[in-house]
Structure 1
Amino acid sequence: MNQTALHRMLALKDLKDLKKVSPQNLFDLRVTTNLPLIKELFYSLYKDPKHDLYFKELLELLPSLFQTRSDELKLHDLYLLKKGNWYQSENMVGMQLYVDLFNNNLKGIEEKIPYFKTLGINFLHLMPITTRPKGENDGGYAVNSYTAVDRRFGSKKDLLSLTSKLRAEGIYLMLDFVVNHTSDEYPWAKKALQGSAKYQGYYFMYPDRTIPDAFEASLPEVFPATSPGNFTYRKEIDHWVMTVFNSYQWDLNYKNPKVFLEMLSNLVAMINSGVDVVRFDALAFLWKNIGTNSQNLPEAHMLISLFRMCLQTIAPGVIFLAEAIVAPKEIIKYFGEGNREGNECDVAYNASLMALLWNSIATKKTLLLNKTLQNSLPKPQESTWINYVRCHDDIGLGLDDHYISELGWDPWLHRKFLLDYYCQGLDWSPAVGYQFMYNPSTGDGRITGSCASLLGLEKAIRIQHTAAIEHAIQKILMLHGIILSYGGIPLIYAGDEIGTLNDYSYLDDDHKKYDSRWVNRPSHSWQTVANLKEKETPSSIIFNGLKHMISIRKKNKVFADANNTILHDPRNPHLFMFERSGKNKEGVLVLANFDEHPQILGVDVLHSLGYVKDGTLSDILSSQKRKLNSGLMEVQPYELLWLAKP
């Protein structure tokens, strides 16, 4: 059973009046109800009898960590528990940003709370703000500490001030927990380099290549161009260290139960700053076994669930986001399976939808989009997606080769076409993007670029082509309109709401110039924001369009995620159509045209779904009635409709 729902049910009487509730009594209740699962998960991972000592340590650690949580946050946990599945609400709209690139530091973020509220944002993902190496640090994902705020962003006091203000304004906060690795400057790594056997056991470290070579036989390379291989030699100790991502990021060895206990303490210390959502970074890589690709292993799922069940006893209001950019059949598992269903992660990135939307833009067809989504497994009722157009990273082409082949396309050639389309390999393409980690031996590659530049705005402005500018704006609004109306939490990357173009300044930074992802991590232009009153600029059109759609989303309960997204066949390869159904026969039908030409939809489809009344349709985006004069309806280029059921 979903443990969160169980805790809510058991505490129903106590939660009626939070002023009278005893957080300690409810903690004891949560420990009692979670303990059987915690024990089962722990001993599934740590089978050696000598690990009994660590299980006893875990039982002592849970109440100790609960006491480190402030009274205010203990009550906030119960408030969120009482709210139910708040993360599935139609009111949820998020933004992802780098603190320094958005507005200098944490105080700067606090100053911009009115900006978030004006747009309708009530969920923030702040990219890593903890200390990191001064040089290359993977955008902060090479951590020197899980709690110390890097001075460039401010202080711990500034963070606590910000999270307090966010809670007061009803804005949820997500921070990353870099769970798979630390930097080579982390205290454990430093002690390992000094020869400490204890801390060398916290990582995968070997005196020769025997075991590393056995791992390498089946391990893929994450960054083949800049960080080939999965091990780095450290001459200080004459050992090879597992470094799956970069040479300065050391993979943690969770086969050592002490690592789990220490990381659980780090996790609680991090959320005690006022975090509502934990983004579990690179969680697919958590468990390593020789002879496998060491991704998505069953033990990784057990470990995540163990973290979840332990944290739930301490902070039941905090939820987990799975940062696993993997195939649809794998991502669904991070919500939990069997007795772990609903007890692993509450939210996951809908990376498949993201990749499919970009595929549809390039092909101008929705065949692969519809085929893949129609064949995707349903998620558990208590979970939800993060739907996004793009994020801080590259755009991977995580498309199913089987479905590509069924459409009569060659998978290798199709990916080559997508890379050429978005990365300036085709003269006629409007996109201005760049390849990331292209592997010539396999043809695999990823795409970087801002949303606006990939959708044609940069090139259109450069050549001063009015029609092309209009099409680019329409595409930007259409894609964001889809993520705002599809089941889940829409997450906008900061800058995309004002149509920010590629940022090439990273080429002047020696620590960034070899990583093309920085082209889509621009500084926020507050001058552009100041000029949004100019109604006809691309930035103002995009901003006001998004603001309008967000407002409509929040007024319609059908956009809450209750597994109520229904795909429909528009019988036109250029159209995408899905319905959000509600109680009492309520509904909104979302219709999008991915082609640059008008497309036709048979009106009989709309009649059969109940969206036609007296020969008219009601579009809640334009607040207009649309008269149907024949058996066919014309959908304009890149047009998006949200049709309300009469």
Structure 2
Amino acid sequence: CSRQHPWFQAYLAGETPYDEYFIEIDPDTDLSAVVRPRSSPLLTSVETNRGVRHVWTTFSDDQIDLNYANPAVLMEMLSILLEYVQHGARIIRLDAIAYLWKRIGTPCIHLPEVHLVVKLMRRLLDAVAPGTLVLTETNVPHKENISYFGDGDEAHIVYQFSLAPLLLDAYLSGDAQPLMRWLQEIREDDSLPPKTTFLNFTASHDGIGVRPLEGLVSEDRFERLIQAVTARGGLVSTRRNSDGADTPYELNITYFDALGEPDGLAPDRHARRFLSTQAVMLALRGIPAVYFHSLTATPNDRDGVQRTGHARAINRRRFTRKELEGLVGKVDSPQHIVFSEYKRMLARRTAQPAFHPDAAQRVVEVGDPALISFLREDAASGQRIWVVANAGAHERRLDLSALPDFQARADLLSGAALESNRGELTLSGWQAVWLTDGDTASGPAKTSEHGITTKR
């Protein structure tokens, strides 16, 4: 709840029922078990008509946590939930839902009461607004994140938080092995409940969360990723651990600038590298979410950081229409290339049954650490798409016999046909292909300047 909200102002004035809408804690209470997403103080002192009180502030001193253990608060929030639906909301995002419930002596994250509240919201929406989707946002390690599917009775959609940092790590290092291992693990371990899926994304109005990398990359590799981001003008936001130490929580940088180089890249190469990551994200099982500043290849807004004092402002630039048109309208600029190619890529994607959220996905091992490789298949139409991306800067050779029953005929991304009976495909640095063994889907066919080469 905003510090400026009438509810909190009424709390400060001691008005009923708002005097019990927030969580007051004695500052001498042992709160060392609480899992923190920030390095700021957990408790914030405020002046009330009853004297100084210390209220629970998980994220910042201007965001005061509501007391969901108070039935009046829970009912108020359920009423607001229904109001959103009444105004036409089709997807309801439960932001940072993991921290909803507090119980002293516990981590105060993922508590059973949190899952019960999500189930309650889901049942309420299913009853009064069937078809409304619940989307949970929990920037935590993968196994914790997917717990919000429940048994198919909690979220319909869960943010796929591990994807963004793993994909960035792959393209900065030229080594996709951790990403490929993770893709294999989620296929083997995550038997999703019916009618549920992931929200795949690489960027949002927040930073790139790094807690979802826990257990997926080594400490040395993680440190190299941090150094690579800061070398590209990024910032690192931290969280406070129970021992009082601060550790990285998120990387604040635009995804486009994260995929540049400290000494700069030629516009076409920078655009190609970035678009390759997006081609992978768009092709994965789930629903893709494209952040506005990815569509426009926005550079870091360091002026915004200085002006606001907030690290997340680096990825929240506000444009005038004239500025935006100038940015994406300059021919041969990386912004123009990305904007044009991204629109074409989205048009191609929407025409493919194999990219439906329910279409099957399996990893295809190709024996090259630089290559990302997986197959999407739609049972109803029979369409199959073999997605391959080169995370490295140099040319790689793809052995097409890695998928023996697949006769690659065309690349849906470039619109280029492949000669039959070819056993090898050459991928240029940072190139991605969506290979099909059937006819190319209808849609805007244009051969990209970064075409593919086949070799016998």
The residue aligned with 2:203 is 390
Residue 319 of structure 1 and its aligned partner are, at CA, apart by 1.5
The residue aligned with 2:36 is 221
1:562-583 CA-partner distances (Å, limit 9, x unpaired): 1512221121111001111013
Identity of aligned residues (%): 26
- What CA distance in whole angstroms lies between the structure 1 residues aligned with 2:208 and 2:297? 18
The residue aligned with 1:201 is 20
1:401-422 CA-partner distances (Å, limit 9, x unpaired): 4443xxxx4x2x3222111011
Q: Residue type of the partner of 1:432?
A: G
Q: Residue type of the partner of 1:638?
A: W
The residue aligned with 2:258 is 454
Gaps of 5+ in 2: 439-456
Residue 634 of structure 1 and its aligned partner are, at CA, apart by 2.2
1:181-203 CA-partner distances (Å, limit 9, x unpaired): x1223222222212246323222
1:626 aligns with 2:418: yes
1:548 aligns with 2:363: no
Kept in 2, the 8 Å contact 1:357–1:369? The answer is: yes
- What CA distance in whole angstroms lies between the structure 1 residues aligned with 2:302 and 2:221? 28
Cα gap change, 1:508/1:331 in structure 2, threshold over 3 Å: closer, same or farther? closer
1:603 aligns with 2:414: no
Residue 312 of structure 1 and its aligned partner are, at CA, apart by 2.6
The residue aligned with 1:480 is 278
- What CA distance in whole angstroms lies between the structure 1 residues aligned with 2:183 and 2:306? 42
Cα gap change, 1:605/1:482 in structure 2, threshold over 3 Å: closer, same or farther? same
1:422 aligns with 2:229: yes
Larger RCO (CA within 8 A; separation ≥ 6): 1
The residue aligned with 2:158 is 348
Q: Match of 2:430, SS? A: coil
Cα gap change, 1:261/1:384 in structure 2, threshold over 3 Å: closer, same or farther? same
Kept in 2, the 8 Å contact 1:452–1:458? The answer is: no
The residue aligned with 2:69 is 255
1:233 aligns with 2:53: no
Kept in 2, the 8 Å contact 1:308–1:320? The answer is: yes
Cα gap change, 1:489/1:475 in structure 2, threshold over 3 Å: closer, same or farther? same
Cα gap change, 1:259/1:480 in structure 2, threshold over 3 Å: closer, same or farther? same
Counterpart selection for 2:114 from 295, 300, 303? 300
The residue aligned with 1:559 is 355
Matches of residues 487-506 of structure 1 in structure 2 within 5 Å? Answer: 487-506=285-304
Kept in 1, the 8 Å contact 2:270–2:334? The answer is: no
The residue aligned with 1:575 is 371
- What CA distance in whole angstroms lies between the structure 2 residues aligned with 1:373 and 1:253? 38
Q: Residue type of the partner of 1:446?
A: E
1:534-588 CA-partner distances (Å, limit 9, x unpaired): 5433222111211111111111111111151222112111100111101353201
1:444 aligns with 2:251: no
Q: Residue type of the partner of 1:478?
A: S
Counterpart selection for 2:388 from 568, 587, 591? 591
Counterpart selection for 1:517 from 283, 293, 312? 312
Residue-pair matches, total: 428
Q: Residue type of the partner of 1:542?
A: V
Cα gap change, 1:601/1:508 in structure 2, threshold over 3 Å: closer, same or farther? closer
Cα gap change, 1:240/1:441 in structure 2, threshold over 3 Å: closer, same or farther? closer
- What CA distance in whole angstroms lies between the structure 2 residues aligned with 1:263 and 1:474? 45
- What CA distance in whole angstroms lies between the structure 2 residues aligned with 1:488 and 1:415? 26
- What CA distance in whole angstroms lies between the structure 2 residues aligned with 1:458 and 1:520? 18
Q: CA RMSD in A?
A: 2.3
Q: Residue type of the partner of 1:209?
A: P
- What CA distance in whole angstroms lies between the structure 1 residues aligned with 2:333 and 2:136? 37
1:190 aligns with 2:9: yes
Which structure's CA Rg is the greater one? 1
- What CA distance in whole angstroms lies between the structure 2 residues aligned with 1:636 and 1:256? 59
1:148-207 CA-partner distances (Å, limit 9, x unpaired): xxxxxxxxxxxxxxxxxxxxxxxxxxxxxxxxxx1223222222212246323222114x
Counterpart selection for 1:644 from 436, 447, 450? 436
Q: Match of 1:588, SS? A: strand
Q: Match of 2:110, SS? A: coil
Kept in 2, the 8 Å contact 1:355–1:396? The answer is: yes
- What CA distance in whole angstroms lies between the structure 2 residues aligned with 1:218 and 1:358? 32
TM-score normalised per structure 1: 0.63
- What CA distance in whole angstroms lies between the structure 2 residues aligned with 1:394 and 1:300? 24
Cα gap change, 1:553/1:576 in structure 2, threshold over 3 Å: closer, same or farther? same
TM-score normalised per structure 2: 0.87
Residue 434 of structure 1 and its aligned partner are, at CA, apart by 1.9
